[in-house]
Amino acid sequence: MYRGRTTLSKFLIEQLHEVTDDGQLAGLLIDVAAAVKTIAAMTAKGGLGGYLGAIDNTNVQGEVQKKLDVLANDAVIGSCEWGGMLAGMLSEELEDPYAIPAEYKRGRYLLNFDPLDGSSNIDVNVSVGTIFSVLVHDKETAPDTADFLQIGRRQIAAGYAIYGPATMLVLTVGKGTHGFTLDREVGNFILTHPDLMIPADTSEFAINTSNERFWEPPITRYVDECKAGKTGVRGRDFNMRWIASMVADVHRILMRGGVFMYPRDTKDPSKPGRLRLLYEANPIGFIIEQAGGAASFGRGPILDHPAQSPHQRVPVILGSKNEVERIERYHAEYDAGTDKPYASPLFQERSLYRSEA
Ligand code: AHG
Ligand code: MN
Ligand code: MN
């Protein structure tokens, strides 16, 4: 029964055989997978492991850290710092990039990561994840902060783990997007979802509508049209989902299509979006593009968005290609002053609430 299964190691040897780096990238991804198994074990213990709840600290984002944010961060660093593959790491949970300790060999890659995505869901036993992005550091010297600020197009690998009913690892090395499921008894990731492709059309969207009053008009227009369903310009009904773990929302979109939006909003004018470019938007954008979807900040591809600071936030709109292109068009029409915001049929001419006079 185990014969013929494609393990993560076998898959990486096959996919990366042309990369001349002495197996460093494959080795790094195996180390990331080891960290994922550790985090999977901790999240699965839940209240039994004493892992729930917050600690008395806020991170550089100004967010209260959960115990598991810190433990997951330690798991990734501990698993990846010693192998000689990395020149440095950048984590959501650390203000500055993490320097590889002097006792270890320095390698040619950089790892940007969100150790635990969706951490507001930990205490309520809803799926969370880990997101990571691999960049090349082609200098002999140790990296400084500027070396991590590369555009997403330069990523050579990216992935996420989802700690759901099953733990899965979804990754790309630029040759499609592939999903592995953790066989817990054996301890191996097995290729179960090769060549994932996102349908170009969808009738499902994901957005936190409690922020509606802060959105830009193109987003309000799109969501209003979806909500109008059959009675509006779209001519069909839409469904809505919001898990508040980006990895879980993205995973659903990879499985059956959909569009995910965390757009620019005016809630906090100092933050042009909620999600972070280097370890959330870029790796997920790479995975989505490799699965035939689109990833945009509303006014261009996420993967071409310039990176200015380690924890920079950006608007994120991604998923089924035709819907993302439509939302980009709504932004372009709004910017050009040619948009036609959705008007409820109740308030249009000859409507219930509008007199003919
Ligand atoms: P993190 O837990 O790493 O800070 O990320 C949480 C993100 C993302 O996963 C999710 O889509 C979004 O925040 C949820 O935001 P709301 O709380 O506004 O729904
Ligand atoms: Mn996150
Ligand atoms: Mn996080």
Q: What is the pLDDT of residues 262-292, one digit of tens each?
A: 999 998 888 889 999 999 999 999 999 999 9
Mean pLDDT of 195-200: 98
Indicate the pLDDT class of residue 357, thresholds 50, 70 and 90.
very low
For the chain, the structural domain boundaries read: 8-193, 204-336
Q: Topology of domain 8-193, per CATH?
A: Fructose-1,6-Bisphosphatase; Chain A, domain 1 (3.30.540)
Residue with tokens 């066989």: 183
Q: 295 forms bridges with which residues in the sheet?
A: 318
**Residue 217 CB burial class (10 angstroms; 0-12, 13-18, ≥19):** middle
Shortest-distance atom of ligand 1 to CA 247: 9
Ligand found nearest the CA of 279: 2
The alpha carbon of 66 and the centre of ligand 3 are apart by a number of angstroms equal to 9
Confidence check: pLDDT of 16 > 60: yes
Q: In which band, very low, low, confident or very high, does the pLDDT at 355 lie, cut at 50, 70 and 90?
A: very low
Cβ–Cβ under 8 Å, residues 126 and 133: no
| Look-up of token digits 């140790």 | 142
Ligand 1 binding pocket mutation candidate from 60, 76, 117 (most atoms within 8 A of CB): 117
Q: What is the pLDDT of residues 219-263, one digit of tens each?
A: 999 999 999 999 999 999 999 999 999 999 999 999 999 999 999
Helices and strands: H and E segment counts in the chain: 8, 17
**What distance in angstroms lies between residue 245's CA and the mean position of ligand 1's atoms?**
6
Question: Does the Cβ of 246 fall within 6 Å of ligand 1?
Answer: yes
The residue whose two tokens read 């349908």 is: 199
User: Who surrounds ion ligand 3 at CB < 5 A?
Assistant: 92, 114, 116-117
Q: If you measure from the C-alpha of residue 279 to the centroid of ligand 2, how many angstroms do you get, rounded to a whole number?
A: 8
User: Would the pTM of this model clear 0.85, i.e. be above it?
Assistant: yes
Ligand 1: which of 213, 260, 262 to mutate, judged by most atoms within 8 Å of the beta carbon? Answer: 262
Amino acid letter, residue 95: E
Of the candidates 67, 75, 90, 93, the residue with the CA atom closest to the CA atom of residue 39: 75
- The pLDDT of residue 290 is 98
**Which pairs with CB-CB distance under 8 Å and at least 24 residues apart come from 249-252?**
249/206, 250/160, 250/284, 250/287, 250/288, 250/318, 251/127, 251/129, 251/160, 251/162, 251/164, 251/168, 251/170, 252/206
Token digits of residue 199: 């349908």
What are 203's two structure tokens? 């009738």
- What is the predicted pLDDT for the residue at 55? 79
Q: Is 120's C-beta closer than 6 angstroms to any atom of ligand 1?
A: yes
Report the distance separating Cα 130 and Cα 280, nearest Å. Answer: 9
Give tens-digit pLDDT for 127-171. 999 999 999 999 989 999 999 999 999 999 999 999 999 999 999
Q: pLDDT-based confidence at 354, cuts 50/70/90? A: very low
Query: Looking at the DSSP assignment, which residues form a beta bridge with residue 191?
Result: 180
CA distance 62 to 65: 9
| Beta strands at 259-262 and 316-319: parallel, antiparallel or unpaired | antiparallel
CA distances from 237 to 28, 200, 355 (A): 44, 17, 29
Q: Could you give the CA distance from residue 343 to residue 161 in angstroms, rounded to a whole number?
A: 41
Residue with CA closest to ligand 1 atom 15: 244
Q: Using an 8 Å Cβ cutoff, are 246 and 118 in contact?
A: yes
Burial class (CB in 10 A: 0-12, 13-18, 19+), 57: exposed
Cβ(161)–Cβ(39) under 8 Å? yes
Tokens of 22: 């002495």
| Residue in the structure block whose two tokens are 């090349």 | 136
- What one-letter code names the amino acid at 127? S
Q: Please, which residues bridge with residue 162 across strands?
A: 129, 168
What 3-state class would DSSP assign to 98? strand
Residue 98: which of 83, 116, 86 has the closest Cα?
A: 86
CATH architecture of 204-336: 3-Layer(aba) Sandwich (3.40)
Tokens for 272, please give them. Answer: 């042009």
Whether 118 lines ligand 1, by a CB cut-off of 6 Å, is: yes
